[in-house]
């Protein structure tokens, strides 16, 4: 699998233009004071399907020859990628099949169904998901579009960084959450050759990427215990290679810090922020600005169930 570069990200930006939103950037003086620097929040929670995943899914589906996806597209996902793929499949008028772990959010599961995908249940571990996906593909002939370990997905996610470059001049660093690593890898590709550092943030309870970078070998997925359900997945093979090539720094945060960060962002910015999206802000609050004066943070999604609060 070829490693995507900035040219691939620029091509992806042209492919998905007109299908996805160029999301706004929000700022808040109170948050700047708390962080000790200027912070710019890229609001992918306002993206199609409610998360940044729409970018990669759209790029992968729109780039695929129709004969390759005529029997449908398939993936495994705990939520946001599945919904995004279902949305993108509808653009090409092909079926979508999503393997969903049994510990997935019922709210996100409903969103996948709402966008028209057929849902197939599996166990929570990556091996469970992949086995169910393989069986599904054998029975349907659908084309697999992985949630993160795929050059088309990575390039699509990297379009966020291209937009940030345009929207926020003189940015020093861009913080992103790390689960499978597709977003971070895409931003690394997009910002190669620039002075903007990509920094990763990960829950302590899902710290396989952090351990992988420290040990130099890709580590297995940890038990699905973190509230940041979008970050429970194992770091992708291609993404890990890209991480190693640039030496990305990954910072860990606790569950308490994630909850606190989520409350701060929602109360101050007045937007819906799911736990996974709050992880970079939690990391900036815990680990500091690391010499940066102008920091970008990708708020990756806002798909949270509000029914208990209503």
Measured distance CA(256)–CA(78) in Å, rounded: 22
In this structure, what token pair is assigned to residue 19?
A: 């299908």
Contact 51, 301 (CB under 8 A): yes
Q: Which residues are catalytic?
A: 53, 78
In this structure, what token pair is assigned to residue 261?
A: 């960060």
Measured distance CA(107)–CA(102) in Å, rounded: 13
Measured distance CA(182)–CA(179) in Å, rounded: 8
């Amino acid at each position: 699998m070829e490693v995507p570069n900035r040219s691939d990200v620029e091509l992806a930006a042209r492919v998905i233009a007109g299908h996805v939103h160029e999301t706004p950037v929000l700022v808040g003086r109170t948050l700047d004071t708390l962080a000790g620097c200027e912070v710019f929040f890229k609001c992918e929670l306002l993206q199609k399907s409610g998360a940044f995943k729409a970018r990669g899914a759209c790029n992968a589906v729109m780039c695929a020859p129709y004969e390759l996806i005529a029997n449908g597209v398939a993936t495994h996902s705990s939520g946001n990628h599945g919904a995004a793929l279902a949305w993108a499949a509808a653009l090409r008028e092909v079926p979508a099949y999503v393997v969903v772990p049994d510990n997935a959010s019922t709210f996100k599961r409903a969103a996948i169904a709402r966008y028209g995908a057929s849902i197939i249940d599996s166990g929570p571990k990556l091996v469970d998901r992949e086995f169910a996906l393989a069986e599904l593909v054998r029975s349907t002939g659908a084309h697999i579009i992985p949630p993160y370990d795929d050059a088309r997905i990575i390039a699509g996610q990297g379009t966020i960084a291209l937009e940030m470059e345009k929207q926020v001049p003189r940015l020093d660093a861009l913080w992103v959450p790390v689960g499978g690593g597709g977003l971070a890898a895409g931003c690394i590709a997009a910002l190669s050759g620039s002075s903007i550092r990509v920094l990763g943030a990960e829950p302590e309870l899902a710290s396989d990427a952090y351990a992988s970078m420290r040990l130099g070998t890709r580590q297995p997925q940890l038990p699905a215990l973190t509230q940041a359900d979008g970050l429970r997945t194992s770091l992708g093979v291609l993404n890990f290679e890209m991480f190693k090539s640039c030496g990305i720094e990954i910072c860990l945060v606790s569950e308490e810090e994630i909850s606190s960060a989520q409350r701060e962002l929602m109360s101050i910015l007045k937007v819906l922020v799911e736990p996974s999206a709050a992880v970079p802000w939690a990391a900036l609050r815990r680990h500091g600005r690391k010499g940066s004066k102008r920091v970008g943070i990708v708020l990756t999604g806002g798909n949270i169930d509000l029914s208990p609060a209503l």
